[in-house]
Amino acid sequence: MAGFGLSTFAQANISPAKPQDKKTIIMGAKIHVGNGTVIENGYLIFDKGKILGVGDATVAKFDLTGSTVITANGKHVYPGFIAPITNLGLTEYESVKATLDFSEIGTYNPHIRALVAYNTDSKVPATLRSNGVLMAQITPQGGVISGSSSVVQLDAWNWEDAALRKDDAQHMTWPVVPRFRGGFGGGGRMGMTSPDALKERTQAQINELDQLFTEAKAYTETDKPTVTNARLAAMKHMFDGQEKLFITVDGQKDIIAAVNFAKKHGVTPVIVGGDEAYLITAFLKDNNISVVVKQPHALPNNLDDDVNMPYKNAGILANAGVNVVLSIDGYWQQRNLPFMAGTVAAWGLDKEKALQTITLNTAKILGLDKTVGSLETGKDATFLISAGDALDMKSNTVEKAFIQGRDINLDNLHKQLDRKFSEKYNAEKK
């Protein structure tokens, strides 16, 4: 109960920022545009929430009268980081069932919308903002088809204010054959099932999915269905291209099967996980498939894999021409997203390309690259200023952050606790 009261108190002190009311100019910073370009001594001008100009401060000439000028010499400016595939705002306390709202009962739930359950009063988003994560794809879980995700900005009064893009994608877990470890003695139910039976069961699940997608496409192409079916109706925008299909799958053969399934039904797939995607880079590139690499800080899934493969996977894919995005499981952990990008940069990926895996590449797969993901004229002024390298855990120090031009509050529960107990122990030393 004490923890609940403290988190409520912390959030009461953090209100969403007010709209930008004056033109602002950032001067002298090292600007990481997000598209691979770096401006060593740059300027960034924004007004009414939009970027008006980005360039080299050493040659630029403009009138500073009436503008707010932020001197950022020696500091770094980055586009706001984007956390894909997270149950952020859908869960608060893992041990309290009433605060868990990320999954529904049932196997096929395309009609479930994560956005309407998103809790802007959660104490967690503020901790993400402090590390530069300013946007997130709020995603449902569970079943074979979990429902639709939406993209939000992390400084809002309610989910309507937070929404950047509603219902951007449906999320599906591809049926795979469980690994058979041999023997019919121990091992529980799987140990009592033959490999052939497991394959048949998995194929039956795929056939059921195939039937569902066929029925959904026929239903959505009917002008006035005689019977309303909410599940089938919710799949409409996959077939007209407004929504993508995010498919969680790891094995190379399963990835190929999932992509071919999506192409058969005329939907745009994005592979999530893709542990063995590095083995089929040519296939992925030829089919223009993006891959969301999960958990770069993890152990390999296969016993005979290179122990460093989770670090290398993103670099191998990106260097082969595949659009790569990084993600982390869970919600608290999202604050470490920039450090995941720093890790893949240390294992074979150019630093600015690593930055793109949490900015522009992510914006592309979410259908938001025209407004966020890079610091370009006309886009939202959603960015951060860090005293050091934001992808490095040792030097990441986010001093300011803006969402659509609004100068947001970077305080959070963790900082409040740090101040509280620092004051306590400092007082005891005197």
Each residue's pLDDT tens digit, 141-181: 999 999 999 999 999 999 999 999 999 999 999 999 886 55
Report residue 429's pLDDT band, with 50, 70 and 90 as the boundaries: confident
**Is 356 part of any domain?**
yes
Give the H/E segment covering residue 293: strand 290-294
Q: Is the pLDDT of residue 262 over 50?
A: yes
Q: Is the pLDDT of residue 115 over 90?
A: yes
Q: What is the pLDDT of residues 294-324, one digit of tens each?
A: 988 888 888 888 899 999 999 999 999 999 9
Taking the C-alpha atoms of residue 265 and residue 236, their distance in angstroms, rounded to an integer, is: 12
Residue 69 shares a structural domain with residue 202: no
**Is 418 part of any domain?**
no
Query: Can you name the residues that pair with 42 across neighbouring β-strands?
Result: 29, 56
**Is 423 part of any domain?**
no
Q: Find out whether 126 and 81 touch, Cβ atoms under 8 Å.
A: no
**Amino acid 184: pLDDT:** 46
Residue 183 shares a structural domain with residue 57: no
Residue 180 shares a structural domain with residue 33: no
Report residue 377's pLDDT band, with 50, 70 and 90 as the boundaries: very high
**Residue 255 DSSP SS3:** helix
The last residue of one of the domains, among 319, 344, 372, is 372
User: Which CATH number belongs to the domain containing residue 244 in this structure?
Assistant: 3.20.20.140
Token look-up 């600015």 returns: 352
Mean pLDDT of the residues in the chain: 90
**Amino acid 61: pLDDT:** 81
Q: Which two tokens stand for residue 34?
A: 């997000």
Residue 72 structural domain: 1-79+374-413
Residue 191 shares a structural domain with residue 260: yes
Residue 196 shares a structural domain with residue 271: yes
**Is 265 part of any domain?**
yes
The half-sphere exposure of 64 on its side-chain side, counting CA atoms within 13 A, is 12
**Is 258 part of any domain?**
yes
In the chain, the number of structural domains is 2
Sign, Cα dihedral of 127, 128, 130, 131: positive
Widest distance between CA atoms in the chain: 81
Mean pLDDT of 374-380: 98
Residue 171 shares a structural domain with residue 302: yes
Q: Is the pLDDT of residue 217 over 80?
A: yes
The half-sphere exposure of 197 on its side-chain side, counting CA atoms within 13 A, is 8
Residue 52 shares a structural domain with residue 158: no
User: Which CATH number belongs to the domain containing residue 26 in this structure?
Assistant: 2.30.40.10
Taking the C-alpha atoms of residue 132 and residue 130, their distance in angstroms, rounded to an integer, is: 6
* Residue 217 identity (one-letter amino acid): K
Mean pLDDT of 20-38: 95
Q: Is the pLDDT of residue 257 over 80?
A: yes
Residue 271 shares a structural domain with residue 380: no
Residue 169 shares a structural domain with residue 66: no
Taking the C-alpha atoms of residue 359 and residue 338, their distance in angstroms, rounded to an integer, is: 10
Q: Which two tokens stand for residue 300?
A: 């390999």
Report residue 194's pLDDT band, with 50, 70 and 90 as the boundaries: confident
**Amino acid 8: pLDDT:** 44
Q: How far is CA 385 from CA 75, 259, 390, 427, in A?
A: 7, 39, 9, 33
**Amino acid 104: pLDDT:** 83
The lowest-confidence range among 34-38, 64-68, 98-102, 268-272 is: 98-102
Residue 156 shares a structural domain with residue 291: yes
Q: Is the pLDDT of residue 7 over 60?
A: no
**Is 426 part of any domain?**
no
Taking the C-alpha atoms of residue 189 and residue 166, their distance in angstroms, rounded to an integer, is: 41
**Amino acid 329: pLDDT:** 87
E-assigned strands of 33-174?
Answer: 38-47, 50-56, 68-71, 76-79, 81-86, 133-138, 145-153, 163-173
Taking the C-alpha atoms of residue 351 and residue 341, their distance in angstroms, rounded to an integer, is: 8
Q: Is the pLDDT of residue 362 over 80?
A: yes
Buried b (16+ CB within 10 A) or exposed e, 139-171: bbbbbbbbbbbbbbbbbbeebeebbbbebbbbb
**Amino acid 303: pLDDT:** 82
Mean pLDDT of 372-384: 98
Q: Is the pLDDT of residue 183 over 70?
A: no
Find the DSSP H helices in 326-379: 337-346, 351-356, 360-365
- Which pTM does this prediction carry? 0.91
Mean pLDDT of 233-257: 95
Q: Which long-range contacts (CB under 8 A, 24 or more apart) does 342-346 make?
A: 342/389, 342/391, 342/392, 342/393, 343/296, 343/297, 343/311, 344/293, 344/296, 344/311, 344/312, 344/314, 344/315, 345/391, 346/311
**Is 134 part of any domain?**
yes
**Is 427 part of any domain?**
no
**Amino acid 402: pLDDT:** 98
**Amino acid 12: pLDDT:** 46
Taking the C-alpha atoms of residue 430 and residue 418, their distance in angstroms, rounded to an integer, is: 19
Q: Which two tokens stand for residue 379?
A: 């886009």
Sign, Cα dihedral of 318, 325, 394, 26: positive
Residue 98 shares a structural domain with residue 208: yes
Query: Which of 402, 271, 352, 334 has its CA nearest to residue 137?
Result: 334
Residue 245 shares a structural domain with residue 206: yes
Q: How far is CA 233 from CA 218, 222, 223, 304, in A?
A: 10, 10, 12, 44
Residues 6+ positions from 103 with CB-CB distance below 8 Å: 140, 141, 142, 143, 146
Q: Which two tokens stand for residue 421?
A: 């107990």
**Amino acid 84: pLDDT:** 97
Q: Is the pLDDT of residue 189 over 60?
A: no
Find the DSSP H helices in 80-164: 124-129, 159-162
